[in-house]
Amino acid sequence: LSLAANIRGYENLMEDMFQRPAFAHRLFKFICDDVLLPHLETMREKTGIPDLLMDGRDAWASPPMITLDMMDEYVVTYAERLRDKLDKNLITRGNWGDAKSRDPERFFSQKMKCTPGSLSVSDPDLFELGPDRVKAYADKHNLFVTAGVDAALLCQGPAKAIVDRIKFYIDKFARNGQCMIHLNQIPRETPCEHVHAAVAACHTYGRFPMPDNLDDIAFEIPKRESFSEFAEQKKY
C-alpha cells in the first residue's frame, strides 16, 4: 500500500479505494505482479541466494490512515499474493496505529498474516495498550514479539527512562526467549548517550538465565568516547 500511496498520493489513493475500487485493485495487481515481483526475483538472482528473505515496510498501511476492512482487502490480500508468487519467505511489516485501530486483536491477526510467526508492536501503541495485552495474544498464537521503543523517548530521554522502558519490555516479553527490542526510528538529533544506554540495557537485562526480579541486576550506563573521537579512531 505504501508504494501505491507514493505513486498516487495518499488522498487520491483513498478516493480510488472508496470510489474506484476496480481501478485500485488493478493498480495493486500491477505493483505486485509487474513491479515488485520481478524486482525481488532479480535481487535473489543477483545475490545468489534463492530463498533470501524479503522484508518490506508498509507504514502507510496503518490505522487511522486506513480502516481494518481496507487492511484486509488491500494489504493482507496483496502481501499473501506476492508471497505465493515468490515461493514464500516474504514478510511485510512496519504497520503502526494498534491503539487507534478500535480492535487491536483483529489488527494483530492481520499483521500476523503479513509476517507469519511474529508480531511487531511499537510505542506509543505498545505502551498505551500495555505489554500484557500484546503478550497474551502472542502466547495464544505462539508468536515472536518485536517490541518497538518510542522514538521520542529515545531522543528526549532521560537515559534512565529509556533504560526503564527497555527493562520493562524485556521483563514482560523476553522470558521465553521470544522477543526482540527494536529502537524505533532513532531521530538524527538523538544524543549518543541515549543510544548507548538503550543498547546497554538490552545487553544487561536480556541475558539468560533471567532472575525473577530484573532490579536485582546491577546496571551502569557505559562511558563512551564522543562520536567525533570514534570517527577519528576509525580513520587509522
What phi and psi, each to the nearest 5 degrees, are found at residue 70?
-65, -35
Do 6 and 35 form a contact (C-beta atoms < 8 A)?
no
Q: Is the peptide bond before 191 cis (omega within 30 degrees of 0)?
A: no
SS3 labels along 141-166: HCCEEEEEECHHHHHHCCHHHHHHHH
Separation of alpha carbons 126 and 120, rounded Å? 9
Question: By three-state DSSP, how is residue 9 classified?
Answer: coil
pLDDT tens digits in sequence order for the chain, 236 residues long: 999 999 999 999 999 999 999 999 999 999 999 999 999 999 999 999 999 999 999 999 999 999 999 999 999 999 999 999 998 899 999 999 999 999 999 999 999 999 999 999 999 999 999 999 999 999 999 999 999 999 999 999 999 999 999 999 999 999 999 999 999 989 999 999 999 999 999 999 999 999 999 999 999 988 888 878 888 888 76
Q: What is the pTM of this model?
A: 0.90
Centre a 10 Å sphere on the Cβ of residue 208 and count the other Cβ atoms it contains. Answer: 7
**CA distance linking residue 59 with residue 94, whole number of Å:** 5
* Lookup: cell for 218: 546491577
Q: Where are the beta strands (DSSP E) in 80-221?
A: 90-93, 118-122, 144-149, 179-183
